[in-house]
Structure 1
Amino acid sequence: MSSWKNAAKCNQKRHRERRQPSAREHLGALEKKQDYRLRAKDFSTKRKALALLAKRAMEKNPDEFYHHMINSKVKCGEHHEVEKEDEHTPEQVKLMQTQDLKYINMKRTIESNKIKRLQSQLHLIDTADSVSNSHTFFVDDEKEMKNFDVVERLQTHPALLKHRTNRLKITDLENIKMPKVNEKNVEMLKEKRNKSYKELAKRIDREKELTVVQQKMELKRCLIDKKCEKPMRIKAATKNSAPIYKWKYERKK
């Protein structure tokens, strides 16, 4: 019986859709059933979307607000999303993805110790001399004020008045044996000092960046803890600061 059915199916005539007549070939290919189904489905989808938008526009509340209103804007008739500031720098992302909290804390401690050592060597003498400051002297009467001499009062050389950090007295200068210094040595010392100041500035920036990374990683670890309630975020994170969260107060036993 099954062989008879298979033979009947093989003998069935295949019905094919007709082609475009030669007189109408200039109009293009003749639309087939599958083409019509796709076109009808696309038309129906667009019609439903337009009807839904018209309904929303008719029922829209004029006092309605949602955050996307302030997070997007229209430029020259085109809708654009407002670009948000990145919370992390590429260096911070690399550190947080490749290193752990102990490594960050260790590196920050090393940088902090190197900064203290450089500051103890340099003392920031040039900066101290460049900062404007006032030195008040007290006198007994107006006559003494008119005849007041700063060099005589401080008992120093006039060239050392601007040096607040290393202002020697004349008696100390007489007892000091000054070494022979030429211009070449002075330039070498100046260049070495400037190099040390640049190194100090770079290490301070590095220490600040490591501190921010450490704070972000510590906060991330605290937020993962499921035992505590989810805190309220007060301020979002930036490239130069960690986010600020407020936890609910819990009395410890």
Structure 2
Amino acid sequence: MSSLRNAIPRRAHKERSQPSSRKKFGLLEKHKDYVQRAKAFHKKEDTLRRLREKASNRNPDEFYFKMVRTRTVNGVHKPESEANKYTQEELMLMKTQDIGYVLQKLQSERKKVERLNAMLHSIDNQPSNKHVFFAEDRKEAKELQLQAQHAKSEIPLTSDNIPPSIKRKRDRSYRELEERRNRLNQLEKIYMDMTMQKELQKNGKKRKLREDEIVCPTTKPVYKWRAERKR
């Protein structure tokens, strides 16, 4: 009998819709929405109850090391700022090490730019009957040698009839030079900014000059230190 009852399709019960007179109050809350909201409400109540019990049973003489690194502001625990983690001397030492690293990179990049610039300058200033060629292997070197011998006998090589492989390498070298120059300018700006920040951390009275006091107009701030007598 039960199997027969299950075989008969049951009617799908639909929840009532929102009455037209109550549409101004928004969507009608269904039973499943109420269950979800009730579970969340009771979960928050249980959490607050456990926290109140834990606070009431807390030992006022209990100590843990985080108390040393925190302070209470209006009853709220706040950790100490990371700025007080190091002393002024330690900050100056770290700043000096950073500046030294940037200066090392700056000098290395400047030497590479000078070396690459000198190489390209020597290549461009070669006479029309003398050219410097770069080969990937012996086969390409032999082809370039034959081309050079043929050019000596017939037509001298100029910037218009340079082999395509050599021209591509020369153009690639010029692009590399431009990229290294841009990187050098960025490193110089970083070095100047870090040097200024290091000087501002030193002791001594200083003030920021106004725009009318600056002799050479610049976008960066200019500071003036008060002259002090050295002992």
Give your verdict on TM over 0.5: no
TM-score, length basis structure 1: 0.35
TM-score, length basis structure 2: 0.38
Q: Relative contact order (C-alpha < 8 Å, sep 6+): which is higher?
A: 1
